[in-house]
Amino acid sequence: MKNRVLISVFALLAMPMTAVATDKDLLISEVHVVETSGWPTGLDIIGNNLCQANATGIELANMPSALFFDSCIEDPATGLDLMTATLASGLDAGSYLLVIDASKKSKKSKKKSSKSRNFSSSKIDEFEFTYGVMGPQGIQGDTGLTGAVGPQGIQGETGAKGDQGLQGNQGVPGMSIVGPTGLTGAAGAAGAPGAAGAPGAPGSDGAPGAMGPQGEPNYYPMTVAARNARYASYTASGIEVNGGFVTRDVDTGSSVAVKFNWNYNAAVSGCAGCVWQLYVGFEGQASTCIVNAGGGTQSGAFDGTLTAPATPGTYNIKILRTWQFSCNTSTMQTGGSDAATAGVVTVR
């Protein structure tokens, strides 16, 4: 049985320490840990102006020999730079500080970076990232204290004066005996309102509110193309997902554009005269057969669409080679015969 290689790409996002940069400043915005056969082997670093001055001054803080520069290119679709680097001996689960110093002189690839750093320059940036498993959602905090009572509003204008009441009747003159008291006259007009009183003291704090409902699952909002996918008998290059190699997440059931060039070398396949097929599709979903041919070395290109899965989550896009008599759009095999990962898509 042939050896099979499954390449998985996992992206972990952290908040950078430098949040604002000018058009010419170096800025790290994302770091992705690349795994090969379940082992961390490198970093994909995305940001602004990473490739200026051959930005090879790259290291993990306090680990000067752990990281080696590979390459740096600009993505024409997004305008962002993608720098790739190789890990010398993998990573343990934990937090790491990545430093890129573009002010250093250009050095050859895979040479360890200098320990000295000068963070006053706009050509230097650092980025803290975590490699490991994400923890559960935390409990919602208590409701904050009630704010102070606002100031007294402006007093309204005085209303118009009412009409004079009628005078009461004259009492009947008494004789030698004093007669009864006459009727009380109508009340006079109301006086003007008094001055406003001082504001009352603030009320006591209200009781804490009830805990809110559980939030929606947090899916990584990113779609990443693998750039190149390889198995012993074929290669796929220039891979793009939705027009680039770093794009946003997609909706369930939506169309996902996939584009790549392929080359099949029958001489190294182990079966030079066999009829072979190439498929592309989401892992665990129905696949698309893109070529069905006999032996010999051949090449071509695929430019089409796949339908995103109906359930939110993170899915691998697989390229699969089989030896059959004709195409069979069966479900893509998980780590199946001659399968390689072309990208990772987050479905929301």
Digits of tens for pLDDT over the chain (348 positions)?
323 233 333 333 333 444 455 667 889 999 999 999 989 999 999 999 888 755 467 889 888 788 888 889 999 999 999 999 999 888 889 999 999 887 775 544 444 433 334 444 478 899 999 988 666 777 888 888 898 898 998 998 888 888 888 988 887 776 666 668 878 878 878 878 878 878 878 878 878 878 867 644 444 445 665 667 777 678 889 999 998 878 889 999 999 999 999 998 877 777 878 888 889 999 888 889 999 987 778 899 999 999 999 999 999 998 888 888 888 866 555 445 567 888 999 999
Predicted pLDDT of residue 33:
94
SS3 letters across the chain: CCCCCCEEEEECCCCCCCCCCCCCCCEEEEEEEEEECCEEEEEEEEEECCCCCCCCEEEECCECCCEEEEEEEECCCCCCEEEEEEECCCCCCEEEEEEEECCCCCCCCCCCCCCCCCCCCCCEEEEEEEECCCCCCCCCCCCCCCCCCCCCCCCCCCCCCCCCCCCCCCCCCCCCCCCCCCCCCCCCCCCCCCCCCCCCCCCCCCCCCCCCCCCCCCCCCCEEECCCEEECCEEEEEEEECCECEECCECCCCEEEEEEEEEECHHHCCCCCCCEEEEEEECCCECEEEEEECCCCEEEEEEEEEECCCCCEEEEEEEEEECCCCCCCCECCCCCCCEEEEEEEEEC
Q: What is the pLDDT of residue 283?
A: 87
- pLDDT at res. 332: 56
pLDDT value of residue 107: 46
pLDDT of amino acid 69: 86
- Which pLDDT belongs to residue 191? 78
